Amino acid sequence: MRTSIKDDFMDETIAFSKSHEEPLWFQKMREEALNRSSDLEMPVYEKISYRSWRLAKPKAPFVPANDISSVKLPDSNNLLIQNGDNTLVSKLDPKLAAKGVVFTDIWTALKDYPELVEKYLLTKTIKPTENRLISLNLALMNGGSFLYVPKNVEIDESIQAIYLQDNNQKKDFIHHVLVVADEGSSVKYLENFVSQGTAAENIANIVVEVVAEDNSHVHFSALDQFGLNVATYLNRHGYVGNNAELDWAIGFMNDGKVVGDFGTDLRGEGSHTEAKVVAITTGEQVTGIDTKVTNYGQHSIGHILQHGVILQSSTLTFNGVGHIVKGAKGSDSQQENRVLMLSRTARGDADPILLIDENDVTAGHAASVGRVNEDQMYYLMSRGIDEETAQRLVIRGFLSAVITEIPDKEVRDRLTNMIERKLVNGQQK
């Protein structure tokens, strides 16, 4: 007799929720999400096929996490490191705490700042009923964090988070991040998802919400490194208010199967987003990235830049969707999606989509799938650089549009090293 997800996990969900002393309203949200999850549709993306993955069939979200101690600490005064539901490091500059800044794990936030979490969690960016995977993320969440920057507080130093996924044990990674910049504030936030180990086969279901209230500025950087045996659904979604700005700089350096769902809703007049994504795929991995910007507010600006590199027999799909709704007069939607293919057995797609429902706007797109520039290769090799090194230099230049957008030098260097690792491993196979 086949059982439903609700039957499989309801008792565990309730027990986990109570053990973390979650408030009653959040326990009810979990239970409602679990009850309706099987009735919701899976998300659909152009040319991204992922239905055969185990994303909608979690197995072990509530297994206790192993201890992980070998974590290199970044030089940061504002740092959160989590291994599942275990918080290993939690640091916040006392000067920022005195101004009302909150940066903590989701359970501490639910206990100490319930009104703030309830106000923003799955209310402004996406809804828990949007699709089955978002509903399951809420129902089975076993890790998460909360960052809140109060009105008119400007933070110069980066806020950093490292989220560890232990792939030495059978434990699905269900994670939720909520970032809120209140009116007139500014913050630079960096997150790094990292798999450790390769023994098990797990799924990762991550939902990240970013709220940029009126006149705020959020610079969001991400370095993603999920392992070979991890099938990942990664949803990052932003809400941008009047004259607010949300800048994304995302490095997809994963080794396993990944579907990335990135969306930004430009709700306010004069709202602005720059969404920049780089990705490298190797081996047999399949990666699909669907990046969408929707202009709701008048005179809003939404730009998408996606650059990717494909090696061996891997697959990379970029969907760029720019949508200007009726009434968003004076808005601008631009996108560029480009893929470099370094193998005849690789497959790449760059699909720009423009949906324009208003006349008084500007919009444009560019897309290409091709090989490394031969003139650049010739120039480098004529100066004594071997072919593989020359190829890596050209590729790093191709991906530099996102690398340079990351504000912290240590993190830029980390992404550059990730790119080098992926390219070297890809060329050697």
DSSP 28: H
Q: Residues 237-264: pLDDT tens digits?
A: 999 999 999 999 999 999 999 999 999 9
% helix / strand / coil in the chain, to the nearest 5? 25, 40, 35
Closest CA to 251 of 194, 181, 315, 323: 194
One DSSP character per residue, 135-204 reads HHHHHH--EEEEEEE-TT-B--SPEEEEEEEETTS---EEEEEEEEE-TT-EEEEEEEEEEE-SSS-EEE
Give 402 or 135, the one with higher predicted confidence.
135
Whether pLDDT at 416 is above 90? no
Question: What pLDDT score does 2 carry?
Answer: 47
The rounded distance, in Å, linking the Cα atoms of 232 and 179 is 21
Residue with tokens 């290993």: 88
In what side-by-side order are the strands of the sheet with 272-281? Answer: 86-91, 79-83, 159-166, 186-196, 217-225, 245-252, 272-281, 301-310, 332-341, 362-370
The rounded distance, in Å, linking the Cα atoms of 55 and 41 is 13
Residue with tokens 């009726």: 326
Give the pLDDT band (50/70/90) at residue 427: low
Residues whose CB is less than 8 angstroms from the CB of residue 87 and which lie 6 or more positions away in sequence, other chains included: 80, 81, 105
Average pLDDT score over residue span 119-131? 97
The rounded distance, in Å, linking the Cα atoms of 94 and 209 is 25
Q: What backbone phi and psi angles, to 5 degrees, belong to 31?
A: -65, -40
The rounded distance, in Å, linking the Cα atoms of 25 and 33 is 12
Whether pLDDT at 402 is above 80? no
Q: Residues 59-91: pLDDT tens digits?
A: 999 999 888 766 778 888 999 999 988 999 999
0.85 surpassed by pTM: yes
What number of other Cβ atoms are within 10 A of residue 48's Cβ? 22
Q: Residues 140-167: pLDDT tens digits?
A: 999 999 999 999 999 999 999 999 999 9
State the average pLDDT for the chain.
93
Average pLDDT score over residue span 418-429? 74
One DSSP character per residue, 104-152 reads EEHHHHHHH-HHHHHHHTTTSS--TTS-HHHHHHHHH--EEEEEEE-TT
DSSP 39: G
387-396 burial, b at 16+ Cβ within 10 Å, e below that, comes to eeebbbebbe
DSSP β-bridge partners for residue 261: 235, 290
**Tokens representing residue 171 in the block:** 């434990």
Question: What pLDDT score does 71 carry?
Answer: 74
DSSP β-bridge partners for residue 265: 239, 294
CA distances for 23 relative to 118, 119, 136, 137, angstroms:
10, 14, 19, 18
Q: What backbone phi and psi angles, to 5 degrees, belong to 221?
A: -115, 145
Question: What pLDDT score does 1 carry?
Answer: 39
The rounded distance, in Å, linking the Cα atoms of 240 and 361 is 19
The rounded distance, in Å, linking the Cα atoms of 129 and 182 is 25
